[in-house]
Amino acid sequence: MLKEIDTALKRLRNWTKPRRVHSPMTTFRTSSRIRPEPYGSVLIIAPWNYPFQLALGPLVPTIAAGNYAVVKPSETAPQSSAVIARIIRETFTPAHVAVFEGEADIAGALLDQRFDLVFYTGGTETGRTVMEAAASHLTPVIMELGGKNPCIVTADADLDIAARRIAWGKFLNAGQTCVAPNFVLADAAIKDELQEKLIETIGRFYGAEPEDSPDFARIVNDRHFNHLTKPDARAKIVTGGKSDPNTRYIAPTILTGMDWSHPLMAGEIFDPILPIMAYEDLDTELIILKNRPKPLALYIFSNERETQDRILRHLPSGGAAINDTLSQAINTRLPFGGIGERGMCTYHGRAGFEAFYHDRAIVHRALKPKSKLIYPPYKMPLWMRRRMRRLF
């Protein structure tokens, strides 16, 4: 958050400058420029998994671009919502930034109002509802939605580094991260070795009993805990699998023995369960992945530049990281956002500022000389008519 604010403060004067553009002969004696102007009113609907950052993060470019805003924090994280509301009310006048707490019906009531832009972060299904409500007013939307993020590990990868970075990205916040690796697709030659290194890494991170670790999070509430997809008999638990509904604890779990037909491979896994599948031929897997919805994030662990580029060329995604996880979302100089069913538009840094303003085109024509060529009746000489045809 502080980095996002510092970047906006440092660069805002440059971002807001009108940009001059070339004026063609067909607009003789004109000057043309593009001036960034605010949309007006912006509704920000935030999720619960990173409640502070994902409510106030979009507010930074909203204000920087000159808009006024209404913020709806998630009711699923009520303590964070209370802190966000207090900060906003102490900092802004209600006419500049207002905040509304409450259940989902409050968000529904806000969506019934007419805004100039709606920014929503959350699940895909709720995103469809938000988009439908915005469409009734023809309001543009920015959507940051969840994703089924693949993590591909090739035979030449450094497995110690891969295991450490995959485990960190996946089990941070108990897997409740939209850009977390959702499943690992590993070369069959190194799949078992990677699996063992992941088990060792989990032990180093969280100890023999992750339930006792102060560094391992819990599922956000009972409703989410009870609705999590459980692995069936087609999956083998190689580590973890333990859960406790009283504390909403789910152990960091690794599954194997699965294929693309398993229910866990259908939707986003928003908990600390990581399936690992082996592949024999990478090209075959790339074809399968390309026919699935585009992911929010793509992770590649490979030391061969050619392989990295081949995967990036074949698999579109909102963002990607090579030999790392999550870092593409952490760098505030990089645009962050989804593609296809995983979202639309990007923000962070300059991309965020550009997402929250409208490029207004302005042309200024000089009063003199008073050309009559563009007005009827058209009696131009033949040579001039030919010249004009070439210009058009």
CA distance 372 to 383: 17
CA distance 1 to 332: 9
Is residue 169 within 8 Å of residue 131, measured between CB atoms?
Answer: no
Residue 344's φ and ψ, nearest 5 degrees, are -150, 140
| 268 is known as an active-site residue | no
Longest dimension (CA), the chain: 90
Is residue 156 within 8 Å of residue 200, measured between CB atoms?
Answer: no
How many other CB atoms are there within 10 angstroms of residue 372's CB atom? 9
The C-alpha angle with vertex 61 and arms to 57 and 62, in degrees rounded to 5, equals: 100
- Any alpha helices (H) in the chain, and if so which ranges? 2-15, 53-56, 59-64, 78-91, 104-111, 124-135, 159-171, 191-206, 222-227, 282-290, 305-314, 327-330, 349-355, 382-391
| 151 is known as an active-site residue | no
DSSP-derived 3-state class of residue 146: coil
CA distance 163 to 330: 20
Residue matched to tokens 């007006």: 40
Q: Name the catalytic one among 144, 268, 285, 341.
A: 144
Q: Name the catalytic one among 178, 268, 341, 345.
A: 178
Close Cβ partners of 137 (under 8 Å, ≥ 6 residues apart) = 114, 115
Residue matched to tokens 């369960």: 273
Is residue 235 within 8 Å of residue 261, measured between CB atoms?
Answer: no
Amino acid found at 386 = R
Reading the block at residue 168, the tokens are 């960190």
State the Rg of the chain over Cα.
26
Instruction: Give me the helix-helix angle, 159-171 and 191-206, nearest 10°.
Output: 50
List residues with catalytic annotation: 144, 178
